[in-house]
Every structure is written in structure tokens, then in C-alpha cells.
Structure 1
């Protein structure tokens, strides 16, 4: 089986955009893992390519690791960091054009500059979309200031991957005293799912019907809430009256990847919930093991047709590879 993996991280050596995502170790990550990640994030040939070859990964779509550009509070610096990170990524892709593709890192602190950088990355650098780490200094992408940005995504016909942000926009009392619940173990998923629902219920996809958002980690588990979203939507008086039921946006405007969720049963459930056409394989390298991602996928009882779609065909279609 040929695989294309969509949520695969890199870092820029010795540069601000490469600030270690475990800085302060709020998420209680064991040192042995952070040391491995530090080596793997800045590498493209010593660890990454052999790992891809060993497990049948044909292409990695690379994106700047967290916190990335969303970790910057100064707008001018964010713009400069994004340009530097994207140029660096383009140089690495040029060395291995048959193995790597790229998602643009964007300075959402400055929406006009973000549009300009998105356009440059797609048209000049050949990237296949963009990735944003959830909120930017507490601002979400349903705000009116980003309306032109969504129009540009539609015009360029590329997807936006919304990834978790290391810095939470809120302090949750329910997590107090339990730092292990911060981050990928729990809070990342519900925070990004909430962001996606802001877009949906804020009418972004009604105003921009051709916009595509990608959510990792099995869609931050939203596919398993579609019936609940519909049933509750029918009984509320919404701020924005949707043109369709909420479930109809998930699987069309919102598509998902398998990154970090390698349970065969969960993947099969997601196929039942939103269809195989809306799901793409991912690993979350180097934070997750490629071997486990492939083994979990190959243990499913999916049809060969659906397996091929999820492994690589959907990515080729969505990203126009």
C-alpha cells in the first residue's frame, strides 16, 4: 500500500520558529521523548526518510511544528518568521521533491500579510495548502477580520489544516491540578473541535461553500458527534441559521486525518460516520510512531477501495498532488 501522510512536523534549526514545543514541559513529557523529537524535527534525511522507507510512506506533507507562527505575539515578527520558515521548507522540498510537500505557515496576527504569504506559498513555492495552530493570541478564524482570508483559500482552491496550539486560549478549572490533561492527551482535541464548530456555526462554510478545513486526530472526534449536533441544532435558536444540518458540513467542508489515532475500530467508525472519501492517513511524525500508524491502518476490515482512498487517493485529490 502507498501512503501519503499529512500531519508531519519539522522545525527550523536555531531559529525562533523552531522554539521547542515542550518548553517549560507543562505537558510533563518524558525527557527521552523530547530529546528524540529535537533530533528528528530538524532532520530530513538521517531519520525521516529511512523511517518513511521502512513503512511505505511515499510522501510526507510537512508543516512547521508547534507553537510555530501562532506562538508569536508581535505581528511584524510573525510575518518575518513565516516567510523564513516557508522559504526554509521550500528549500528542503526542492532537495527531495518526490518525497516531501508543504503546508504554509501563516502569520494570522496580520490577516492581509497572511493572505499575501498564502498566495506566495501556493503560487511561487508550490505548497499544497496551509496549516494554522488553532487560535492566534486568542483570536479564532470565524472573526470578520479573516473573511477575506477564507475567500483567498477558495480562490486558490487549497485546504487549511487546523492543528492544536500549545498555548491555551482559556484556563479550564476542570484541568487544575491535572497537568497531564493539558495537550495531546486531552485538551488539544476539544479545543480544536471547538474552533471548528465556531467556523461551522458561524456560517463560514455557508459564506464560503468551497472552503475545506482539515482536522487531525480523527477529526478531533467530531465525526462521532454528528447525530448529537443535528439533534441539538433542531431545538435551539441559533445565532446563524445554517443552510444545512451541522452533520452535512462534516465530511464535506470539514475532512479529517488519522494522525495520532491508530485504533482500527475508531477508523472504521469514522468511515461509517462520514464516509471514506473524507478521511486521509496521517502519522503525526515525530510525535507518533509511523510503525504504529501503519499497523493500525492495516488491521482494519475496510474494503480495498476504501483503504486506497484513505491511504493516498483522497490526499492526492484534496491537495491536488
Structure 2
């Protein structure tokens, strides 16, 4: 299937290369690190070969979210966004951008969000999990009231926030002790990100800002499959409840999910049954995953043609109305 639009596609700058996880196979991570830095020939060739016309690029995790100095975070975020804008300008029919924000300084994050959307033309925000502040053992989650001005501006601008995983705070890793194989995409990413999303829901954030849109990768970090039970038991929490509607309402009204790194047809069909096809989007999670594997699976998955078209690109068109009218290699050739 040609014309696919992919939303969770990562890049990196050399200055962040030594901050990538070290517990994954070193040979694999060397190759991932190399591919993260390459945004022209090889990556575009992979896109051409797999029918991916357009990719929204974002800084790989943990990125600026792991910076413990707020002033340095502001400087680094601006540099990342300026570099990404240069990449997009060089390939306007193939790439768009998600903003990197210095959430260590909420006021600066709002200002950078405004710049990225209104001046650089980015299509939303990628937040790589919680943000460190002061040291690696301290983190802020985005349900905290200090971030209300950020969420208010996000809603006003009408752009989505992609909540991407990162590993848990160093002080909260007791359950993983002796089992580093459970870190990252194997398991800890899912637990961390699903819990963060539930914090947003249960905080009442979507009651205050009902037009907010949040995207989760990996077919929703298990939430589509667990939400009935979560809702069922949360209803018994009495005075602890801060939210006004069933949590399932927020999942269906305020969240989208992507296929990034979860290329399993039964899981996709379960997600479609719970969330509906209009809330699911294609992604590959390159270069941590293979574009070829993602595309081969999706193009041949046992779903109907109309659903494949919606997930592949029309849902993204609806969610991101600022995408170029013409995308892909042929559009770029015609433009040149």
C-alpha cells in the first residue's frame, strides 16, 4: 500500500548519542545510533521501498526530557527544533516535525511550543515521558498543575501531543532488579507510559481541556485491552475520584493510538474493536523497528481495505490538517 503516513519515526543529534540505553545489545544499538543520525539517502530509500510517503520525525527518547538543568534544556530543545526544521525544509514532501520541548521550564516550553507550531510549521509535540528536574532521581509527570498553562496552549493551538515511553525513575526500579531484560520496549516502557496516560485521565485534565488530543504508540500501551477493568474498579474509589466521566470516555475521545512496534494482527483487531478505526494510525518506530517489517505486516494484515486506507493515511490527514497537500517521492520530483 502506497501513501502511508508514519508518526513515530525518530532521529537524533550527535550530542545525544551517548544518552541512549546501554542495556540493549551493543551491536544493535550501534546500528540504531547510526540510523538515527541519517535522514537523507538511506532513510528515504527505506520509505520509498515500503510505501511510506511521509514521516513525522521526533527526537529519540529520552532526549531533552533527561536534561537535569532547566536552562540547558531550553537551549538544547531550541537547537533540536532548529535542526529538525532544517531537515524538513530540505525534504518538505517527505518529512514533518514534532516539537521537542523543555518541560523543565513550563513557561519556556509554552514559548517554544508556540514558536514550533506558528513559525516552524511543526504538527504537534513529542514528549519522551516524564521530565527530569535537578537530578536523575526526580521527575515531573504532566498531570501536575504546573503544566496547566502548557496544556491550555496545546488545546488552543489544536495540535496533538505524542506521549512516548522512557524508562522509569531510577529510584522506582525495584521490581526490575536483577532483570534488565525487562527494561525498555520489552516491558518497562509499556508500564511507564500507560500509567502516565492514566495519570492524565484521572487528574481531570480532559475535563478542564476537553479538546486535547494525546497519541500513544504500540497500539495504546495495553490500555485498549485493560480499560474496562480499570474503569470498573476505579468507579469504587469514592472520594479519590477527581475525574467527571468514565475513563473509557477519555480514551475514546482524547486519544489516538499508532501501530508503532506492535505488528500483530490480533492485537490490531482488538484495538479496532475497542477504539474504532478512526482512532488508529500507522507508524513503524524506525529505526528501533524495521520499516519493511512494519509495512509488510500492515499491507497484508487481515483487515478490510477501507480500514487499511484510514489507518494508513486518511486518519492522519484528518488529525494533521496542516500536512502538505502532495506528499511522497513523486510530489518531491514534481516540485523539483
- Measured after TM superposition, the shift of residue 301 of structure 1 is 2.2
Q: Which moved more, 1:136-145 or 1:298-307?
A: 298-307
Mapped partners of 1:180, 1:241: distance in 2: 36
- Measured after TM superposition, the shift of residue 145 of structure 1 is 0.3
Q: Is the 8 A contact 1:18 1:68 kept in 2?
A: no
Tell me the equivalent position of 2:38: 43
- Find the residue that maps to 2:256 and give its secondary structure: strand
- Measured after TM superposition, the shift of residue 238 of structure 1 is 4.8
**C-alpha RMSD of matched pairs (Å):** 1.3
Does residue 118 of structure 2 align to residue 123 of structure 1?
Answer: yes
- Please point out which of 25, 44, 49 is paired with 1:30: 25
Q: TM-score, normalised by structure 2?
A: 0.91
Mapped partners of 1:172, 1:152: distance in 2: 34
Tell me the equivalent position of 1:10: 11
Does residue 66 of structure 2 align to residue 71 of structure 1?
Answer: yes
Q: Is the 8 A contact 1:64 1:105 kept in 2?
A: yes
Q: Which moved more, 1:172-181 or 1:96-105?
A: 172-181
Mapped partners of 1:303, 1:169: distance in 2: 44
Tell me the equivalent position of 2:20: 21
- Find the residue that maps to 2:41 and give its secondary structure: coil
**What are the residue-to-residue correspondences of 1:52-131 with 2, within 5 Å?**
52-131=47-126
Number of aligned positions between the proteins: 315
- Measured after TM superposition, the shift of residue 242 of structure 1 is 2.6
Tell me the equivalent position of 1:306: 307
**1:123-179 Cα shifts (integer Å, max 9, x gaps):** 000000001111112110000000010000001000001111245364232211111
Does residue 238 of structure 2 align to residue 237 of structure 1?
Answer: yes
Q: Which moved more, 1:221-230 or 1:166-175?
A: 166-175
- Measured after TM superposition, the shift of residue 38 of structure 1 is 1.7
Structure 2: runs of 5 or more not aligned: 133-138, 324-336
Q: TM-score, normalised by structure 1?
A: 0.95
**1:222-257 Cα shifts (integer Å, max 9, x gaps):** 000121122112222153443221111112201111
Mapped partners of 1:275, 1:251: distance in 2: 8
- Find the residue that maps to 2:195 and give its secondary structure: helix
Q: Is the 8 A contact 2:219 2:271 kept in 1?
A: yes
Relative to its length, the structure with more helix (as a share) is 2
Tell me the equivalent position of 2:140: 139
Tell me the equivalent position of 1:318: 319
**1:76-100 Cα shifts (integer Å, max 9, x gaps):** 0000000000000000000000000
- Find the residue that maps to 2:64 and give its secondary structure: helix
- Find the residue that maps to 2:103 and give its secondary structure: coil
